Structure 1
Amino acid sequence: MNGPLNNPQLPVAVIGGGQAGLSISWHLKQLGIEHRVFERHGVAHEWRHARWDSFCLVTPNWQCRLPGFDYAADFGGRDPKGFMLKDEIVRYLEAYVASFDPPLLTGVSVERVRAVDGGFDIRTSSGRWHAAQVIVATGGYHRPIVPRSAERLPPHIVQIDACAYRNPQQLPDGAVLVVGTGQSGAQIAEDLHRAGRRVHLAVGTAPRSPRVYRGREVTEWLTDSGYYAITLDQHPQKETVREKTNHYLSGRDGGKAIDLRQFAADGMQLYGRFETIADGVVHFAPDLRRNLDRADDSYRGIQTAVDAYIAANGIDAPAEPHYVPVWEPQTEPLTLDLTAAGISSVIWCIGFASDYQWLEAPVFDGRGQPVQTRGVTPVEGLYFLGLPWQNTWGSGRFADVGADAAYLAQQIAKHQAATAAA
């Protein structure tokens, strides 16, 4: 569905047509609630245009469970324990849209949403609308973070962020500095390393996870033990868990752990956390050893949790030793002379910032993050969907965004019924 409709009055507007927006649309259709989904690009745009060529999910295919759309039965998925590649993810979302025909307005940018008496005024590239209720389903990762010190890089050095990286061949010949070791940074560094590029990697504080342990994929153990069912209000870290960086691991080659120490043993140069750039020299914090140790502590912590679950339930599973480091830094290099090292490219992989400047409603905290409980905000009729740890670990993922959408659909239906009865 494209272009404006004749009636700009909407019971419900959904901002964003990714997996979150599509999930709430499915539930609203089941409830017979009229709505429109505003998508500034097209179906699966971010997966299609903001991921590198070898990208694949780090969560197994059986965790892809959008509402009313089973990976195996409805999509014809042949490998539930595999990890979808980028093109397959695009096909998955395209097939999902075809399965229920959501009222999707593609190519329509939402420029402003303003809370007014009786609902919300919505200004778009296709005209103005008014909605009684609004769901913000744009997720929490909007703008790649690039430090201001990047302005001091020598002009001949190509610099891009993780969203712009596609493959090693797009970069000029020479060594590459990758900054950040979240999921994107660790996987991009590996992609370059496997292509034979000389890689320098600034190691951040992201934790890491085993892929397979004691005979099973770790996500299976965590599912059976109930970890993925823990809600935010039950989590020992409460709301601070939303600030945690995702564990780095990979779905590549059938799924595997990522060990930065092994990269170093194979010739990759590791540094501590990026600090600044001055006169063609990059400066790093003296925390390489600490960051590697903490990532390994997280890895072993997951192993310990699985051990405890196996023991408590009397499960027959093969024994497996805990991780032992394969490499230790003998020194911690604190600087990198870009010219001397032959650095031709820098890839920034240090995370994303939220951008809700277009939303005029008193629902944000001092850091600009939405204040919400399971997606319900203090402003009547305004909701968020698809945020990290909105309710559970899987809230911002294919795994559980549908469960969050089901909850919000019920809240929307209650609000609609109460308004009609008033």
Structure 2
Amino acid sequence: MSNTEAAQSAPAHYSVIVVGGGQAGLSVSHYLRQANIDHLVLEKHSVTHTWRTQRWDSFSLVTPNWQCALPGHPYQGADPHGFMKKDEIIAYLDAFIAKVDAPVLEGAAVTRVSRDAHGRYDVRSTRGDFTADQVVVASGGYHTPIVPRMAERLAPDIVQMQSSEYRNADALPPGAVLVVGSGQSGAQIAEDLHLAGRKVHLAVGEAPRCARFYRGRDVVDWLADMRYYDMPVTDHPLREGVRDNTNHYVTGRDGGRDIDLRRFALEGMELFGRLGDFRDGKLRFAANLRANLDDADDTYNRINASIDGFIAKHGIDAPPQARYEPLWQPASERTELDLQASGITSIVWCIGFTPDFAWLDAPVFNGRGYPAHLRGVTAVPGLYFVGLPWLHTWGSGRFSGVARDAQFIVDTICAERASAPDRESAACA
């Protein structure tokens, strides 16, 4: 093969390849453009695919619109303290996509990333192979839906779906519905079905909850003033352990409100403890419903108490509000439910996702498959992460904090490029 032929067959090279075309990857592209660094974004599906395909019809943000602060693209609508619905979120993202105008290759699932002996990255995808000096992984941390093995033993006429597949109550067959999990998705989907008039059975896990409004303001507004959203993970009492926490359940639906599972129980929803197994035609639940409800309320009241302390310390004039007291307590705990006798015809699994970085050949992962990093910077030169929950702050995986993380990563890339003798330091404008 001649030198010309070899050059023609060599993979295209970029200074930086970004894996993932969601809000995190596009935010990185925004700052790379500002720094005048050539790059390519590889997206498995289409940009911001998850927002378009893995949200139910009545979905709305649980954080107020003013927290939508993608780089160069703050929320500028007429309702900063409202909560955008699904179509409004997509419109917001479409405007961001047009503004960034990122160099994206869609339909390019990355199958392998490895680093050669010279420090260059080999990136293989379903739409071609590439090389890069640096790689930013922006594919998020929610990849593989969790469905327990017991699901395989259920009757085939039971419709089963994961939370990312749920759209609305009418898409499910007539009959009662079992929702498994009470995190943000589980609580909101249970509410959606309940409001649609469906009989809902909810397996309640250990998710905490928080108030929507407290002492005259959205709780998010209070926490922002208290600088909670600026706290780095290294200063959090749980340190990196906070990344394993389930999100607090609350909703932005209909202008925002609390989600109180006890109220749902008074209205006919049947609550159980954590789902443990299925055998002999019966679902088996742990006898921990009361404890899980009490723990969620303790978190609710503890957050409110911290706001009380902030108000008192700064002498803020805010209307008083009483401590939450339970509206309902389970008289007893049912630990078994006959699936057929209950009339349950469908199950929605809302117990989360696991990460899948099997395509990334790098010694950066812990025993649970999560990357070890400090603010997205790994111990492997030139390899970075962005968009993970609590990567740096509470907002790292959200519209509110991803810009700060993306800029930090691009600044770090620029610093590395400037210090590398074989790269042009002028590449970062």
Question: In structure 2, the residue corresponding to 1:262 is in which secondary structure?
Answer: helix
Partner of 2:14: 10
Question: In structure 1, the residue corresponding to 2:396 is in which secondary structure?
Answer: coil
Aligned pair 1:33/2:43, yes or no? no
Partner of 1:46: 50
What count of residue pairs does the alignment treat as equivalent?
A: 414
Question: In structure 1, the residue corresponding to 2:290 is in which secondary structure?
Answer: helix
Aligned pair 1:107/2:111, yes or no? no
- Superposed, which structure 2 residues align to 1:201-240 within 5 Å? 201-240=202-241
CA contact (8 A) 1:43 1:94 kept: no
Mean alpha-carbon deviation: is it higher for 294-303 or for 229-238?
229-238
Partner of 1:63: 67
Tell me the distance in 2 between the aligned counterparts of 1:265 and 1:146. 29
- Provide the aligned C-alpha RMSD in A: 1.2
Question: In structure 2, the residue corresponding to 1:233 is in which secondary structure?
Answer: helix
Question: In structure 1, the residue corresponding to 2:406 is in which secondary structure?
Answer: helix
Partner of 1:290: 291
- Superposed, which structure 2 residues align to 1:20-419 within 5 Å? 20-72=24-76, 77-117=77-117, 118-419=119-420
Tell me the distance in 1 between the aligned counterparts of 2:406 and 2:211. 30
Same amino acid, percent of matched pairs: 56
Task: After superposition, give the CA deviation of every residue in 1:258-306 in whole Å (9 maximum; x if it has no partner).
Answer: 0000000100000000101112210000100000000000000111000
Unaligned runs of 5+ in 2: 1-8, 424-429
TM-score normalised according to structure 2 size: 0.95
Tell me the distance in 2 between the aligned counterparts of 1:137 and 1:43. 12
Tell me the distance in 2 between the aligned counterparts of 1:134 and 1:164. 31
How far is the alpha carbon of 1:43 from its aligned partner?
Answer: 2.2
How far is the alpha carbon of 1:7 from its aligned partner?
Answer: 6.5
Question: In structure 2, the residue corresponding to 1:312 is in which secondary structure?
Answer: helix
Tell me the distance in 1 between the aligned counterparts of 2:48 and 2:29. 15
CA contact (8 A) 1:158 1:345 kept: yes
The one-letter amino acid of 2:313's match is A
CA contact (8 A) 1:180 1:349 kept: yes
Mean alpha-carbon deviation: is it higher for 62-71 or for 104-113?
104-113
The one-letter amino acid of 1:108's match is A
The one-letter amino acid of 2:28's match is I
Tell me the distance in 2 between the aligned counterparts of 1:271 and 1:164. 23
TM-score normalised according to structure 1 size: 0.96
CA contact (8 A) 1:15 1:138 kept: yes
The one-letter amino acid of 1:275's match is G
How far is the alpha carbon of 1:416 from its aligned partner?
Answer: 1.2
Tell me the distance in 1 between the aligned counterparts of 2:358 and 2:352. 19
Tell me the distance in 1 between the aligned counterparts of 2:267 and 2:189. 16
The one-letter amino acid of 2:263's match is Q
How far is the alpha carbon of 1:421 from its aligned partner?
Answer: 5.5
| Segments ≥4 residues shifted beyond 2 Å | none
The one-letter amino acid of 2:379's match is P
CA contact (8 A) 1:273 1:284 kept: yes
Mean alpha-carbon deviation: is it higher for 63-72 or for 113-122?
113-122
How far is the alpha carbon of 1:6 from its aligned partner?
Answer: 9.5
